[in-house]
Chain A
Amino acid sequence: MSNFLDAPRYAAASARVRGRIGRLLTPAQWELLLEAPDLSTMVQNLSTTAYQPLLEQVGRAAMAQPDPSRIERWLWQYLATSYRAPLPFMPGATKDLVAWLWRRFEVDNLKMVLRGVERDIPPGRIRDTLVPLGDASGLPWESLSEASTVPDVVSRLAGRFYGRALEPALDRYRREGLLFVLEIRLDLAYARELLNLVEGLRGRDRREAERFTGTLIDSQNVLWAFRYRLYHDLSPEEILNYTLQRGVRVNTRILREIATGASVMTVLEEVWDGALPDLERLARHRDQQALVEAEAMFDRYFYRQAKKTLKGYPLHLGVILAYLVLQETEIGDLVSLIEGKASGWPADRIGPYLVSLGAEAGAPGGEGTG
């Protein structure tokens, strides 16, 4: 019955997404890209795939001597556009969810603006680092990049969601001069709203959203908590205040365990209990290395979940979220590949950093996604 009702709701969005899935790179194309002797050849090869229009915008001259950062920026823009592709065809609350997932690009851009303004970087150069979001974003990027100080950026966001998120941390920023406090407010406000949207769904929509977005929030939350403890040496109280104390599988008790010294493997085992297939690999590592491995493990987990979803019933929210995961993994891998080629690395050295290859092979791919 649920499937019957979902079919008309997701028919158009699903068709749109299926078309885009067909444009994802094939294993043969990946092989060609990976085996390219240098960045220029790799970019030439990429221009024979679905990314051709993108690279044409970068310019033919740029393809001869490619500027990695410029191409990467275009790729992120492509990804941001992909998030919006199914939106016009999506129903009600699920549309809000995917639109909010897209807002992550706004959050990332805002962080770049805050960092740029704090370091007194000229507005034009700040704008060059932002992912172009077009008319879909209602934020005044030009005005924000021209702000003279960080509080000035926040004042230009007054009355908006981001302004409301940042204002409470402004006095502390003025006292301590740490951007960290603003960025953490931004991340928390964004993730809290994302979780609210997941919790606002019902039935199969809710289950699919929890499977992808809920797991994403949980994994990020757990990884944040470990990073605060292992890299920033924060107190347990600070760790709890700087994380979301709820989620799909994560709760205050889990976070308290992390904050008071539980190992990465213990926590992941307790929270995901068999859902992460390569968990035993973590046993070989100390906590810091295990954390890096855990990040790659989550990337592979999402990739495999997405592939599995696409083999099943085609008309539900999961298909759209699965496409977004695959597209994001592909762009992430392309960026890793571009960085690797730009550094003159051979294919066998780059390969382990590609999530899709690792996940497809069931082997330890995506080791360096951090």
Chain B
Amino acid sequence: MFKPTSMRKVNIFVSEDHVVPVTIALARLRILHLDEGEISEEWETSAGAYWSRRADEYTSLDRRLEDLLSTLGAARKEHGQPEDMAPREDARNIEDQVSEVEKMVRDWQDRKREAEATEQRLELAVEGTRLLRPLDVSIDALRELQYLHLAIGTIPWDGLASLEKAIFRIPFAVIPTVEQKDRVLIFAASTQDNAPILDLALKSAFFEPLRLPQGVGGSPDEELEGLEQRLEEARERVEALEDERRQMLEEQGGRLSELWRLARADATVTDMVSRFGRHGETRLIVGWVPEHNVDELVHAVREATDDEADVEILEPRKGGSGLSVPTLLENPKFLKPFEKLVSTFGFPKYNEIDPTPLVALTFVLMYGMMFGDVGHGLLLALGGLWLARRHGGPTWLGPVIAAAGLSGAAFGVLYGSLFGREDILPQLWLNPFSDIMSILIASIVAGVVLLCVGFVLSLASAWRARDWGDLLFSDSGVAGFALYLTLAGGGAALLQGVAVPTLPLAGLIVGTGAVILFRAPLNRLTAGQRPILEKGWGEDLVQSAFELFETFISYFTNSLSFVRLGAFAIAHVGLSRVVLILSEGSSGWLQWVIILIGALVIVGFEGLIVGIQTLRLEYYEFFGKFFQGGGHAFQPFGLPGGEET
């Protein structure tokens, strides 16, 4: 807690012969965060053309297998890794098997497409023939009309309106009849001498003439029975092809799933290998590993190479920015949801303090203080629990809301408030609405305490980063903390009417203020940098004076900002009372409906606003003292289908 897991940089030197077994071993372990940026310039980093091609090959096989599995309707099982893999040789074996199944599946797809097209054509033929039944003429006679040109077929339904507007030079008739999927069956007619114009218009509207089976030419009544019989046969063919798919799935599904897992794993390994450094026949793998996993990694590498690899273990540079080292946060499981609250602001850098435990505590407490009501708090907690159990959506949000709700309920016990009623539970601490000054003062005291914690964490961060100038002279360092304590203590004493010696107090304020005012030259002095004044007295002093003024203002506003803890607690009681007053105007079930709707509005609307205000206090007032973020998370590479560490 508070401190990210200690990391070690590893440089693994292996021969080209051993690079694959080492990569597979590391991928199975899933403890190495690769860092190509740390490979020095003398190593080629884009020299893995052979492996890049292999990676493309496996990615393509992976995709083809996904297509096959999806065509056959197989459920893909993401979990599980292949037992044996040989990325140099697997491709050919997978390719042969995939091609064999693909041929089979493509053949089946073609037959299915053809069968479905026949089924659709016959459906239209049946419908079209039914429409012609009232006419006492044969189909052959309709094909050979003397004066009229008649076209029967389908067009896309979205082109029907356009077609009717497009034919504007000739008299014509377009009669839409039945719709099938995205097309509509039409009868289009014009005089014979205008036939070329009509045909061109139909063609450009993507008209497909109705193709009747060979020999169909008699009267519609005579032909209908035969067409319906053929349609039935076509449907049976489609059904038989579905059975064939199920059969193929049963026979090939297992094999394809295995091949898919193998192709995915090979794609991952070959992609990694293509990114390692190369110098002749030597490959360099650079990455970060948690300190407690170093032995495990070394053992795995030695085992995979028969002890022929060199593994260099390095400590991260002291006093650096910590930007290149990935951060693995080490918090108990129940604090994990709060990591997300922190990373929404910024992911902790490696050498930064992880504020998650403090955020968990302060967020919950501040939320509870503003949302103190047993009933509303429990409702919110129930909502959070429901959200946590729901599949899909952010998994971290539910637990955070539940914890905030429980805290609200706990403060509700202290305030003696249940759904706004203050006559049911005993009041253990105070009533925000009646003791307004007390709750506001308590809020500011809580804020001052939290800001002091922020100062202490800032000092610790500067100490860890060996940033002595920041530690001693900055507005969040020793000087700033001393100034803040003096101002806060002085202010408190003044309000309480306690007499304090004015001279020492003024001396402290002036002294610490002067240190902050001259922090730039002091920083340079302690760091041994010359000249001490970078821009000259005038410019440096004016800039520092404004910054000092801003520091004074910010100490004041930061502390006062916490008044909102009390203000929202008062607003919560006020809002609850409004709901109760509204409900008192009614009786029976209507009264309960108003109370219920009021409670839901308070929990939903005010709950959200209080959440935003709490986050604001965390991010702006608290984090502003010591936390910057800007780090990146530790992401070990591993085979797909494996468990995340």
Decide if B67 touches A143 in the complex (CB within 8 Å). Answer: yes
Contact A235 B165 (CB under 8 A): no
Docked Cα-Cα span, A16 to B131, in Å, equals: 60
In the bound complex, do residue B162 and residue A142 qualify as a contact, i.e. CB atoms below 8 Å apart? no
B458 part of interface (Cβ distance < 8 Å): no
Q: B166 touches which one: A143, A192, A237 (CB < 8 A)?
A: A237
Measured between beta carbons, the chain A residues less than 8 angstroms from B206 are 168-169, 172, 181, 185
Pair A256/B63 contact, Cβ less than 8 Å: no
**Of the candidates B63, B156, B165, which one forms a contact with A240 in the assembled complex, judged by CB atoms under 8 Å apart?**
B165
B residues 277-312 touching A (CB-CB < 8 Å): none
Cα–Cα, bound, A167→B166 (Å): 22
Q: Mark B154-191, 1 if CB is under 8 A from A, else 0.
A: 01101101110111110000000000001100000000
Is the beta-carbon distance between B205 and A241 smaller than 8 angstroms? Answer: yes
In the bound assembly, the distance between CA atoms of A195 and B206 in angstroms comes to 22
Is B44's beta carbon under 8 Å from chain A?
no
Task: Decide if B578 is an interface residue (CB 8 Å cutoff).
Answer: no
Option from A169, A171, A238, A252 in Cβ contact (under 8 Å) with B201 = A238
B168 touching A256 by the CB < 8 A rule? Answer: yes
A324–B168 Cα distance when bound, in Å, is 39
- For chains A and B in complex, what number of residue pairs have CB atoms within 8 angstroms? 63
**A164 CA / B158 CA spacing, docked (Å):** 11
B15 within 8 A of A: no
The closest CB in chain B to the CB of A152 belongs to B106
Look across to chain B and name the residue whose beta carbon is closest to the beta carbon of A240. B166
Give complex CA distance A164, B166 in Å: 23
Question: Which A residues between 9 and 51 are near B, CB-CB below 8 angstroms?
Answer: none
Contact of B63 among A143, A172, A238 (CB under 8 A): A143
Does A212 sit within 8 A of B, measured CB to CB?
no
Q: A234–B206 Cα gap in the complex (Å)?
A: 15
Number of interface residues of B (CB under 8 A): 28
Complex CA distance for A236 and B168, rounded to whole angstroms: 9
* CB interface residues, B 591-607, toward A, < 8 Å: none
Residues of A in contact (CB 8 Å), total 25
Which residue of A171, A235, A241, A252 is within 8 Å of B159 (Cβ)?
Answer: A241
CB-nearest residue of chain B to A181: B206
Which B residues are CB-close (under 8 A) to A164? 182
Name the B residues within 8 Å of A168 (CB-CB). 155-156, 159, 182-183, 206
Candidate in A140, A241, A252 with the most chain B CB atoms within 10 angstroms = A241
B331 in contact (CB, < 8 A): no
Does residue B208 face the partner (Cβ distance < 8 Å to A)?
yes
B60 interfacial contact with A, CB 8 Å: yes
User: Do B204 and A140 touch across chains, with their CB atoms under 8 A apart?
Assistant: no
CA distance A171 to B182 in the complex (A): 14
Q: Is B59 in contact with chain A by the CB < 8 A criterion? A: yes
Q: Would you call A238 and B60 a contact (CB within 8 A)?
A: no
Interface membership of A183, Cβ < 8 A: no
Using an 8 Å CB-CB cutoff, how does the interface string of A203-246 with B read, 1 for contact, 0 for none? 00000000000000000000000000000001111101110010
Chain A: CB-nearest residue to B56: A124
A144: min CB distance to chain B, Å = 11
Within 8 A of B (CB), among A139-168: 140, 142-143, 146, 155, 164, 167-168
Is B197 an interface position by the 8 A CB rule? yes
Say yes or no: B63 contacts A245, CB within 8 Å: no
- Interfacial chain A residues near B155, Cβ < 8 Å: 168
Answer yes or no: B200 CB below 8 A from chain A CBs: yes
Q: Give the chain A neighbours of B161 by CB distance below 8 A.
A: 245
Q: Give CA–CA (A192, B155) in the complex, Å.
A: 17
**Contact at A237–B169, with CB atoms within 8 Å?**
yes
The proximity string for A residues 280-305 relative to B, scoring 1 for CB distances below 8 Å and 0 otherwise, is: 00000000000000000000000000
How far is B105's CA from A85's CA once the two chains are assembled, in angstroms?
A: 42
> Quick one: closest A residue to B170, CB to CB?
A237
- Distance A155 CA – B117 CA, assembled complex (angstroms): 14
Q: Would B168 and A241 count as touching, CB distance under 8 A? A: no
- Report yes or no: B200 in contact with A235, Cβ–Cβ below 8 A: yes
B183: chain A residues at CB < 8 Å are: 168
Taking CB as reference atom, which chain A residue is nearest B205? Answer: A241
List residues of B (198-229) whose CB comes within 8 Å of A's CBs.
200-201, 203-206, 208
Whether A238 contacts B200 by the Cβ 8 Å rule is yes
Shortest CB–CB separation between residue A49 and chain B, in angstroms? 26
Quote the shortest CB–CB distance from A29 to chain B (angstroms): 31
Given A140-B63, A142-B59, A142-B63, the answer on whether A245 and B168 have CB atoms closer than 8 Å is: no
Chain B min CB distance to A188 (Å): 9
A181 to B205, CA, bound (A): 10
Complex CA distance for A171 and B209, rounded to whole angstroms: 11
How distant is the Cα of A237 from the Cα of B183 in the complex, in angstroms? 20
Selected from B156, B158, B159, B204, the residue in CB contact (under 8 A) with A237 is: B204
Do B208 and A171 have beta carbons less than 8 Å apart? yes
Q: Which residue of A lies closest to B181 (CB)?
A: A167
Is there an interface contact between A245 and B200, defined as CB atoms closer than 8 Å?
A: no
B182→A167 contact, CB < 8 A: yes
Within the complex, the shortest CB–CB distance from A224 to chain B, in Å, comes to 13
Q: Distance in Å from the Cβ of B180 to the closest Cβ of chain A?
A: 12
Interface string of B478-507 (1 = CB under 8 A from A): 000000000000000000000000000000
- Report B347 CB to chain A, min CB distance, Å: 20
Rounded to whole Å, the gap between the CB of A240 and the closest CB of chain B is: 4
Closest 3 CB pairs of A and B: A240-B166, A237-B201, A241-B204
In the complex, 5 of the A-B residue pairs with CB atoms within 8 angstroms, ordered by the A residue number, are A140-B63, A143-B67, A172-B206, A235-B200, A240-B162
Besides A168-B206, A240-B168, 16 more A-B contacts (Cβ < 8 Å) are A155-B109, A168-B155, A171-B208, A172-B203, A181-B206, A185-B206, A234-B204, A236-B168, A237-B167, A237-B201, A238-B166, A238-B201, A241-B163, A241-B204, A245-B166, A252-B165
